[in-house]
Chains A and B, each alone.
Chain A
Amino acid sequence: DTAVSQTPKYLVTQMGNDKSIKCEQNLGHDTMYWYKQDSKKFLKIMFSYNNKELIINETVPNRFSPKSPDKAHLNLHINSLELGDSAVYFCASSQEGRGEAFFGQGTRLTVV
């Protein structure tokens, strides 16, 4: 049973396309996150939802839109993909008040 699972693991797509990445956690956590890892391995938060409410929205192009249908799911939709969007995207979850987060396996997005 994977605690935080995201799909797909790999995504190769052309510039201008729209794509989605899905994330689900079965840990009963109330907070979920999207992090982006660039080619130099640097990790930066993009979004966070707590109980389906958006609480963090870092400086991210509005082509990126997160959606949380319920506490256990947080999806990331990206419109009009650009070459610079190529990265590994990690979903994570945590319980409010506890700092440690549990991460999914990552989605490697390659825009060609």
Chain B
Amino acid sequence: GDSVTQMEGPVTLSEEAFLTINCTYTATGYPSLFWYVQYPGEGLQLLLKATKADDKGSNKGFEATYRKETTSFHLEKGSVQVSDSAVYFCALSDLAGSSNTGKLIFGQGTTLQVKP
């Protein structure tokens, strides 16, 4: 079945450092890909998305490019801030697959801690 694998955390960075969180996926169809962020004590918020190969999603300085050839959707940010400390989830939704239910399949989440 479809699955998402993220790099193990926690990731600890100093403020203004470069961030990469790796995400790879396995899917039988052509999924849409997402990054969600969960701040402490809160629900999940959509950070960015990409719906087809070579699309780049971006928001709040974060970027991720849908790479079909490497089945990856790595999250990057050029300069992290303390306020970026959160748990980041990569997810896919296979809208074109046989199920077409819109359900999200999540990676295991990566905790990011940014220190001043």
Contact = CB atoms under 8 A, between A and B. Distances in A.
Do A and B share a complex?
A: yes
B101 A42 contact: no
A48 B34 CA distance: 19
Interface string B36-59: 101000111110010100000000
B18 to A, nearest CB: 24
Interface residues of A, number: 28
Interface residues of B, number: 25
A68 interface: no
Contacts of B108: 40-42
B109 A101 contact: no
A56 interface: yes
Contacts of A56: 101, 103
A102 B103 CA distance: 12
Contacts of B104: 35, 43, 45, 92, 99, 101
Contacts of A45: 103-105
B87 interface: yes
Contacts of B73: none
B95 interface: yes
B72 to A, nearest CB: 18
Contact of A99 (B43, B89, B93, B109): B93
A96 interface: yes
Given A97-B95, A99-B49, A99-B51, A43 B34 contact: no
Main SS at interface, chain A? strand
Nearest to A30: B102
Contacts of A104: 43
A100 interface: yes
A104 B44 CA distance: 8
Contact of A48 (B95, B103, B111): B103
Given A45-B103, A105-B42, A99 B32 contact: yes
Interface string B11-40: 000000000000000000001101010100
Interface string A69-112: 00000000000000000000010101011111111111000000
Interface string A16-46: 0000000000000001010100001111110
A55 interface: yes
